[in-house]
């Protein structure tokens, strides 16, 4: 199944004209997108600003694409949503939202929205402790109620992963183990209830607003999950600090992905921030007394959230033979007598964390290879090579990073994106970059490599129309902190294509090393797959893919280095511009960069439409 492309937005606060103008622009330059999801407060507090939304309600202005919101509070909200509340009571809630006007839908309460294969969970409203057990008070104040939370708990089913979870507020503890925005105080930040919901749902992405800052946390993985979760906090529309409030996401539904693909972990993956051992100064997040009924179970599996007995008052209220997994794992349960599951086990052996309960108790598991839990009693010993080294420094190439130069981005795919090179060697010098943070192109999955090679093929054909071909190279020198892998793609005139090999071989000889040839005669040849067979372990390397398809590679020995600008300097001499060997000498103004990128984006788009 193809990836689903969506837009995500932070607090709108009634700034609808500015939001939808920006969305229209992004839709034209980078679309199409299937939907826009807004988190945080959607409506303004100022009653005088109701006219701005009325222009869209009466059809005077059009909303560019289907838009869903969960921030159903603010002074104007009561007026705008009153007719919708009546319709909801008459017809009941629907999973795809309550229509407000054309292309505008209210995701009320909580639920699971299906969107072209994506499972989108949402929790509308805000965390107001005084109304958590008061349904009428919660409805009138724009707060969520305990029933809304219990509804979400029923979706915490390991057989159907949640692709996206939307909440208005950040989860408490999300900054544990990482460095967050200095303006935010981790000790007072976020909602403990949302943190518990996230612990149970284990979504692939969690999007939230309300704090006024853009922040993309390093991916994290819960001990009982094989996939990672990515948290993104979005800023307010039109904020003075120019923080990012609109975020694009291309997401393949988990239901159509192989278990191996879902289990891939970027090198900067951390432990879950919602556990006591997630980082220095972290604290275990637990539901406060306001939500004492049916405390979520962080290690639960198939028995998780038996809704018919979610408020059992004693052991006698537990139905069937459902056993507490935490008790089976540890020999004790943090919930004590308030736990809804049995504290019984026939064996004194404590179950290893991450083990499949069906496998251990029945000897088999109906989910087979699709089960995300381990079919063994052994402890999981995750190696450092599997989890990688987390980078503490900001990354220029991570699309979710506030440091990425979005003006240079040409096109975003499912796994990789294409961007103009900053300080390009020549016009048309571009980079191919994996969306996830990998330090080597050899670490990419096969779908990502296929997309990468598809980009190379398109660029090669694009330049052929200009009497040019391409040279592609990567310098992979890994260091603590983890650089972000990228391929350099440089257009080469046909007249100089045959000289690329001799220039590289000669330059390598001058530096005292040799480049080994890897032939590419096989059909559907993939440079990176060929290199995987040639390079043992996680060694550093340099390779160049020549215009004729041949690949030259040098694998670095321990302690050996290769000049940072080696590939660029060689091609600069070949093209007769040796003074452009260092990108820093070729930097352009922001306006010139934007002009150059816009021109390339238009031309490349027209070429692909032919």
Which token pair is 528? 């990176």
Q: What is the pLDDT of residue 279?
A: 47
Cβ atoms of 52 and 76 within 8 Å: the answer is no
Q: How confident is the model at residue 159 (pLDDT cuts 50, 70, 90)?
A: low
Backbone φ/ψ region at 354: left (φ over 0), alpha (ψ -120 to 50), beta: left
Mean pLDDT value of segment 374-383 = 43
Confidence check: pLDDT of 92 > 70: no
Query: Which residue would you say has higher pLDDT here, 481 or 577?
Result: 577
Confidence check: pLDDT of 157 > 60: no
Mean pLDDT value of segment 514-522 = 76
Confidence check: pLDDT of 101 > 60: yes
Q: What is the pLDDT of residue 327?
A: 53
Q: What is the pLDDT of residue 367?
A: 52
Confidence check: pLDDT of 112 > 60: yes
Cβ atoms of 530 and 509 within 8 Å: the answer is no
Cβ atoms of 486 and 397 within 8 Å: the answer is yes
Query: Which residue would you say has higher pLDDT here, 346 or 552?
Result: 552
Q: How far apart are CA 466 and CA 142, in angstroms?
A: 58
Mean pLDDT of the chain: 80
Mean pLDDT check: name the lowest of 122-131, 525-534, 539-548, 563-572: 525-534
Mean pLDDT value of segment 542-558 = 92
User: Of 208, 200, 175, whose CA–CA distance to 189 is shortest?
Assistant: 175
Mean pLDDT check: name the lowest of 40-44, 138-142, 381-385: 381-385
Confidence check: pLDDT of 142 > 80: yes
Q: What is the pLDDT of residue 134?
A: 87
What's the pLDDT tens digit per position in 260-297? 889 988 989 999 999 744 444 444 444 433 433 333 33
Q: Where are the beta strands (DSSP E) in 261-373?
A: 270-271
User: Of 323, 371, 377, 319, whose CA–CA distance to 346 is shortest?
Assistant: 323
Mean pLDDT value of segment 185-193 = 91
User: Which residues partner with 208 through β-bridges?
Assistant: 233
Mean pLDDT value of segment 114-141 = 91
Q: CA-based diameter of the chain, in Å?
A: 84
Domain with CATH 3.60.21.10 in the chain: 4-289
Q: How confident is the model at residue 525 (pLDDT cuts 50, 70, 90)?
A: low
The CATH H-level superfamily of 4-289 is Metallo-dependent phosphatases (3.60.21.10)
Q: Is 548 helix (H, G, I), strand (E, B) or coil?
A: coil
Q: How confident is the model at residue 94 (pLDDT cuts 50, 70, 90)?
A: low
Confidence check: pLDDT of 19 > 90: yes
Residue 403: partners with Cβ closer than 8 Å, 6 or more residues away: 394, 395, 396
Q: How confident is the model at residue 90 (pLDDT cuts 50, 70, 90)?
A: low
Q: How confident is the model at residue 557 (pLDDT cuts 50, 70, 90)?
A: confident
Q: What is the pLDDT of residue 33?
A: 96
Q: What is the pLDDT of residue 284?
A: 40
What end-to-end distance do the CA atoms of the chain give, in Å? Answer: 24
Confidence check: pLDDT of 323 > 60: no
Mean pLDDT check: name the lowest of 71-85, 284-298, 459-473: 284-298
Strand-pair category, 541-545 with 468-476: antiparallel
Percent of the chain with pLDDT over 90: 48
Query: Which residue would you say has higher pLDDT here, 366 or 144?
Result: 144
Query: Which residue would you say has higher pLDDT here, 282 or 84?
Result: 84
Q: What is the pLDDT of residue 316?
A: 36
Q: What are phi and psi of 502, to 5 degrees?
A: -65, -35
Domain with CATH 3.30.428.10 in the chain: 406-609
Mean pLDDT value of segment 387-401 = 58
Query: Which residue would you say has higher pLDDT here, 64 or 404?
Result: 64
Q: What is the pLDDT of residue 482?
A: 62
What's the pLDDT tens digit per position in 477-509? 876 556 889 999 999 999 999 999 999 999 999
Which token pair is 289? 């007394």
Distance of CA 268 to the CA centre of its chain: 13
Query: Which residue would you say has higher pLDDT here, 91 or 185?
Result: 185
Q: Pick from 117-126, 139-148, 305-314 the range whose average pLDDT is largest.
A: 117-126
Q: How confident is the model at residue 249 (pLDDT cuts 50, 70, 90)?
A: very high
Which token pair is 320? 């069937």
Q: How confident is the model at residue 339 (pLDDT cuts 50, 70, 90)?
A: low
Q: What is the pLDDT of residue 199?
A: 93
Q: How far apart are CA 597 and CA 593, in angstroms?
A: 6
State how far the alpha carbon of 393 is from the alpha carbons of 180, 218, 401, 547, in Å. 12, 11, 11, 35
Q: How confident is the model at residue 47 (pLDDT cuts 50, 70, 90)?
A: confident
Mean pLDDT value of segment 161-190 = 92
Mean pLDDT value of segment 532-545 = 85
The structural architecture, per CATH, of the domain 406-609 is 2-Layer Sandwich (3.30)
Q: What is the pLDDT of residue 179?
A: 86
437 burial (CB, 10 Å; 0-12 / 13-18 / 19+) is buried
């Amino acid at each position: 199944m193809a990836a689903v492309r969506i837009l995500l937005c932070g607090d709108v606060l009634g700034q609808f004209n500015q939001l939808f103008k920006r969305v229209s622009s992004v839709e034209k330059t980078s679309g199409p997108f299937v939907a826009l999801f807004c988190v945080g407060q959607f409506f303004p507090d100022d009653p005088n600003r109701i006219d701005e939304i009325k222009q869209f309600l009466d059809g005077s202005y059009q909303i560019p694409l289907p838009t869903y919101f969960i921030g159903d509070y603010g002074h104007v909200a009561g007026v705008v949503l009153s007719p919708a509340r009546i319709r909801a009571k008459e017809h009941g809630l629907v999973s795809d939202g309550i229509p407000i006007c054309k292309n505008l839908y209210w995701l009320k309460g909580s639920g699971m929205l299906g969107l072209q294969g994506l499972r989108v969970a949402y929790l509308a409203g805000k965390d107001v402790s005084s109304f958590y057990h008061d349904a009428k008070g919660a409805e009138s104040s724009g707060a969520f109620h305990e029933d809304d939370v219990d509804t979400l708990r029923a979706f915490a089913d390991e057989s159907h992963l949640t692709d996206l979870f939307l909440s208005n507020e950040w989860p408490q503890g999300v900054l544990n183990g990482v460095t967050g925005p200095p303006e935010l105080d981790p000790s007072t930040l976020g909602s403990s209830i949302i943190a518990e919901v996230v612990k149970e749902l284990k979504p692939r992405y969690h999007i939230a607003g309300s704090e006024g800052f853009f922040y993309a946390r390093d991916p994290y993985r819960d001990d009982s999950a094989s996939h990672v979760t990515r948290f993104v906090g979005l800023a307010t529309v039109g904020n003075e600090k120019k923080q990012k409030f609109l975020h694009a996401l291309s997401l393949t539904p988990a239901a159509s992905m192989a278990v191996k693909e879902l289990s891939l972990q970027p090198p900067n993956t951390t432990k879950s921030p919602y556990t006591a051992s997630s980082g220095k100064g972290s604290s275990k997040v637990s539901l406060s007394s306001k939500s004492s009924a049916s405390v979520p179970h962080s290690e639960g599996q198939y028995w998780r959230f038996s809704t018919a007995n979610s408020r059992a008052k004693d052991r006698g209220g537990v139905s069937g033979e459902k056993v507490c997994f935490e008790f089976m794992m540890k020999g004790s349960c943090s919930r004590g007598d308030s736990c809804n599951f049995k504290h019984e086990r026939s064996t004194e052996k404590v179950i290893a964390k991450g083990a499949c309960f069906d496998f251990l108790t029945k000897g088999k598991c109906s989910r087979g290879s699709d089960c995300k839990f381990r079919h063994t009693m052994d402890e999981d010993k995750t190696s450092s090579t599997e989890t990688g080294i987390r980078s503490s420094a900001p990354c220029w190439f991570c699309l979710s990073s506030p440091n990425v130069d979005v003006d240079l981005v040409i096109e975003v795919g499912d796994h990789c994106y294409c961007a103009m090179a900053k300080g390009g060697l020549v016009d048309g010098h571009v980079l191919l970059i994996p969306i996830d943070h990998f330090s080597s192109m050899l670490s990419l999955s096969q779908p990502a490599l296929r997309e990468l090679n598809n980009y190379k093929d398109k660029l090669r054909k694009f330049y052929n129309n200009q009497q040019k071909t391409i040279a592609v190279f990567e310098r992979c020198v890994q260091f603590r902190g983890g650089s972000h892998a990228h391929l350099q793609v440089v257009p080469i005139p046909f007249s100089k294509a045959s000289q690329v090999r001799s220039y590289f071989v000669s330059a390598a000889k001058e530096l005292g090393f040799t480049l080994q040839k890897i032939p590419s005669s096989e059909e559907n040849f993939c440079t990176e797959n060929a290199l995987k067979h040639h390079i043992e372990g996680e060694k550093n390397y340099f390779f160049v893919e020549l215009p004729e398809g041949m690949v030259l590679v040098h694998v670095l020995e321990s302690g050996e280095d290769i000049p940072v600008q080696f590939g660029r300097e060689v091609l600069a001499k070949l093209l007769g511009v040796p003074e452009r060997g260092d990108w820093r000498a070729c930097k352009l103004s922001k306006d010139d960069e934007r002009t150059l990128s816009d021109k390339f984006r238009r031309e490349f788009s027209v070429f692909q439409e032919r």
